[in-house]
Homo-oligomer: A and B are copies of this chain.
């Protein structure tokens, strides 16, 4: 079994957002597992560990913001590598309110769904959403997962279904960011004290030697 075969499946890069009713704000996370399953139904797969998961279960609604290749570089770190339990991810993000849900203003299109059905797996919830509204926001090539990894050199959060641990040879010095999994190859101690993980913008202190 060669799991690299799974990398050949094609995905986009999305922010799935919803209302965080308990905190009277919005919650959201990066997802790439989203697809249309009928004319008016979308499926998204969200890890149980993502705070967005429990918020969707409570609000029974979600929005998908479809990111483009030119999306602001902060959007993926903000939504992919922090938890809505700890921070208000939407605090410094330009959003549009559509049907009561916050979507990312700097995305190519949005889809608003009511949850119709829920399928639980051991690690993820598959939400089936009925499309209530959708629209285009800007004309820009969409960000595919392939583009994010190959051109933007992005990484997957550990909770993503597509996450596969980076391989590092044992012969070289390397450090791993415990937040996003980014591998720093070389001697991290030689970096300045204000060095930040290039992916999730966390400080040197979150890195461990591997």
Contact = CB atoms under 8 A, between A and B. Distances in A.
Interface of A: 1-6, 8-12, 33-39, 41-43, 45, 66, 108-111, 117, 119, 121-124, 126, 128, 131, 133-136, 142, 144-146, 161-162
A4 B136 contact: yes
Contacts of A8: 12, 66, 108-109, 136, 142
Contact of A135 (B5, B41, B136): B5
Most chain B Cβ neighbours within 10 Å, of A1, A4, A145: A1
B119 A10 contact: no
Number of this chain's copies in the complex? 2
Contact of A119 (B45, B110, B117, B142): B117
Contacts of A146: 142
B135 A37 contact: no
A9 B43 CA distance: 12
A34 B35 CA distance: 7
A110 B34 contact: no
Contacts of A126: 37, 43, 119, 126, 128
Most chain B Cβ neighbours within 10 Å, of A35, A41, A42: A35
Given A9-B12, A9-B66, 16 more contacts: A1-B135, A2-B135, A5-B109, A5-B111, A5-B136, A6-B111, A6-B134, A8-B12, A9-B34, A9-B36, A34-B35, A35-B161, A39-B123, A41-B124, A121-B128, A126-B126
